Structure 1
Amino acid sequence: MQDQVVNALGEVFARQRRVGGIPLVVHDADFPSPAELLPALAGQVGWQAWRKPEPSSFSNLADALEIAVHPDVSAFFGHYYAGNIEGCFKGLFLTLLQPWNEADFERLQQNQIAHHLMMKKLKLAPSWFLASCRDEQKLVTLNNATGEVQLERLGKGVIGVLAPNLATFLRQVEVC
């Protein structure tokens, strides 16, 4: 299933290029990424998803939290450095999150740990966030046990299942 997730994510990046051309982000010389394409112009830099020669994993999270991390989490976050992707899934506007560089990947892992600990404290099923939503109280997450992609309300739990798995979800995301 991991290969399906990586391929589906690659398709999202390809759709993004077809729809909007080269995406731009605010340039930060102190926070470079191998995804950067163009020299910074007017404070912005173009980017293209950059496939890592060796994927990163979440095994350190699994060890720290003493939990098996669903392999789709590593497939989604561990294979590319890229900017975030604006999209829509069946009318739900969202931002798919991606690490910009190694430091950002480490920060992402820390935030995932915080999310996991909050879920545990609230006695909610473990999940991993994948995307933020326009409504800041909602997140798109991956259910750690089932691999389903779900919509959650912060601190309240699952609102509903969006897709049976991450590859299916990514194939249905429309890029804005």
Structure 2
Amino acid sequence: MQDQVEMALGELFERCRRTGQGLLAVHDPAAPSPAELLPAHQGRVGWQPWRRPEPGRFDNVADALAMQVHPSLGAFYGHYFAGNLEVCFKGLFLSLLQPWNQDDYERLQQNQIGHQLMLRKLGLPASWFIASCRDEQRLVTLDNTSGEVLLERLGKGRIGVLAPSLASFLRRLEPC
């Protein structure tokens, strides 16, 4: 399962690269990334996915929350430093989130913990955010129990299932 997610993410990076639109991120000299392709131009920098020599882990998140974390989450966020990807899923425009560097990875983990604490307070099932929508009240998440990819309304929970697994979801995404 984890290998399928890692492979599907790599395939998505390649589909995005082949579009010829270029992979661009906002350039912040104070937050360099090994994914950056220099030089920066007009406040933007090109990037390519940079495979981490040692994958990042989510054990610290599981320990902090005293719960198991679905293994697809670590496979999705732990293998690359990259920019966010602008993608489409059946007409739904998404920004697929990726950590830019180690500091961003740690911030992402902290935000995931905060997300879980909010869900607990609201009495909603555990899920992990993986993409934002143009409508800021909706987000794409990974269900912690089933591994399904969900569309959720912020603070309200599940709207519906987008895909039965993260790997199948990633394979169906198209660059925008």
Specify the alignment match of 1:50 in structure 2: 50
Q: Secondary structure at the match of 1:20?
A: coil
Specify the alignment match of 2:12 in structure 1: 12
- Cα distance in 1 for residues equivalent to 2:162 and 2:22: 28
- Is 1:122 the counterpart of 2:132? The answer is no
- Cα distance in 2 for residues equivalent to 1:144 and 1:70: 5
Q: Is the 8 A contact 1:22 1:48 kept in 2?
A: no
Specify the alignment match of 1:66 in structure 2: 66
After the TM superposition, which parts of structure 1 deviate over 6 Å for at least 4 consecutive aligned residues? none
Specify the alignment match of 2:156 in structure 1: 156
Q: Displacement, 1:125?
A: 0.5
Query: What RMSD in Å do the two structures reach over aligned CA positions?
Result: 0.8
- Cα distance in 2 for residues equivalent to 1:173 and 1:99: 19
Q: Displacement, 1:45?
A: 1.1
The share of aligned pairs that are identical, in percent, is: 69
Specify the alignment match of 2:145 in structure 1: 145
**What amino acid is the match of 1:23?**
L
Q: Displacement, 1:20?
A: 3.1
Per-residue CA deviations over 1:82-136 (Å, capped at 9, x if unaligned) read 0000011011111100000000001100110111011111111100000000110
Q: Displacement, 1:42?
A: 2.3
Q: TM-score of the superposition, structure 2-length normalised?
A: 0.98
Per-residue CA deviations over 1:9-29 (Å, capped at 9, x if unaligned) read 001100000013431222111
**What amino acid is the match of 1:9?**
L
- Cα distance in 2 for residues equivalent to 1:30 and 1:109: 20
- Cα distance in 1 for residues equivalent to 2:64 and 2:102: 19
Q: TM-score of the superposition, structure 1-length normalised?
A: 0.98
Specify the alignment match of 2:93 in structure 1: 93
Q: Secondary structure at the match of 1:83?
A: coil
- Cα distance in 1 for residues equivalent to 2:81 and 2:24: 14
Q: Displacement, 1:50?
A: 0.3
Per-residue CA deviations over 1:139-170 (Å, capped at 9, x if unaligned) read 10000000000000001000000000000000
Specify the alignment match of 2:110 in structure 1: 110
- Is 1:33 the counterpart of 2:33? The answer is yes
Comparing 17-26 with 160-169, greater Cα deviation is found at 17-26
Identify unmatched segments of 5+ residues in structure 1: none
Q: Secondary structure at the match of 2:22?
A: coil
Q: Secondary structure at the match of 2:140?
A: strand
**What amino acid is the match of 2:18?**
R
- Cα distance in 2 for residues equivalent to 1:73 and 1:22: 26
- Cα distance in 2 for residues equivalent to 1:91 and 1:148: 19
Identify unmatched segments of 5+ residues in structure 2: none
